[in-house]
Amino acid sequence: MRSSLLFIPAVVMLGCVVVSQPSPAVPESDLTTLAKYRQWTLVNPTPQLMEPRVSTDCAMIPARQQQNPHLDKYISVFVNSVGRDEMMTKRHPKFPIGSMIVKEKLGSPDSTKPEMLTAMIKREPGYNPESGDWEYLVLDGAASKIVERGKLTRCSGCHRPYKANDFITRTYLPETVRSDLKP
């Protein structure tokens, strides 16, 4: 069997043997991965107005210093292959580590360019136990820059009531998907 790896001969220097090994594959950065979100599963086929209750809850967070990013916004939600099954088939999902969800914030239902993106990445146990170990991110609309990320209090405050669904609202699930969810 022929290997596709290139091996570089060992070099002997002052009695030491130095062997050059192939470098391990460098994993994609979160930004590079998130920027490909439109290749993932589109959860809601048509943009829908952000659920008023969710938008209102977000606006009422006492520590909010910025404008509500959900107010009067239409959304399209995408989930990567890691989280797809939990998002689309489970009544009470438990997303695996590596699940990513991106929500486009659109000014109108026919907008083609998002004003901004919000995202969630499921991290290892212990990362953010109060919020189901999700990391929250805010990106520019082109997915070219992460504006903010981490255990964002204003995000976790809004997602806390959805603990039974692994802190994911899923108010945007189409009725056809919602009616087929399994326990």
16 in any annotated domain:
no
Beta pairing partners, 74: 49, 106
Structural domain of 43: 27-178
Report d(CA 2, CA 78) in Å as an integer. Answer: 41
Let me know if residue 64 belongs to a domain: yes
Give me the number of domains the chain comprises: 1
- Cα–Cα distances in angstroms (integers) from residue 83 to residues 48, 93, 98, 169, in the given order: 21, 9, 8, 14
Is 114 within the bounds of a domain?
yes
Q: In this predicted model, what pLDDT tens digit does every residue of 131-171 receive, in sequence order?
A: 999 999 999 999 999 999 999 998 998 899 999 999 999 99
Determine how β-strand 11-13 pairs with β-strand 16-18. Answer: antiparallel
Other Cβ atoms within 10 Å of 12 Cβ, number: 9
Backbone φ and ψ of 177, nearest 5°: -80, -45
On whether residue 65 sits in a domain, the answer given is: yes
- pTM exceeds 0.85 for this model: no
Sign of CA dihedral 173, 179, 182, 183: positive
Domain for residue 6, yes or no? Answer: no
42 assigned to some structural domain: yes
**How many other C-beta atoms can be found within 10 angstroms of the C-beta atom of residue 150?**
11
Q: Which residues of the chain have pLDDT under 50?
A: 1-27, 60-65
Estimate to the nearest angstrom the gap between the alpha carbon of 116 and the chain centroid: 14
Residue 157, domain member (yes or no) = yes
Residue 99 to residue 119: CA distance in whole angstroms: 10
Looking up residue 33, the CATH number of its domain turns out to be 3.50.70.20
What is the pLDDT, as a whole number, of residue 124? 97
Contact 156, 123 (CB under 8 A): no
Cα torsion through 42, 48, 49, 54, rounded to 10? -50
Residue 51, Cβ density class (10 Å: 0-12 exposed, 13-18 middle, ≥19 buried): middle
4 part of a folded domain: no
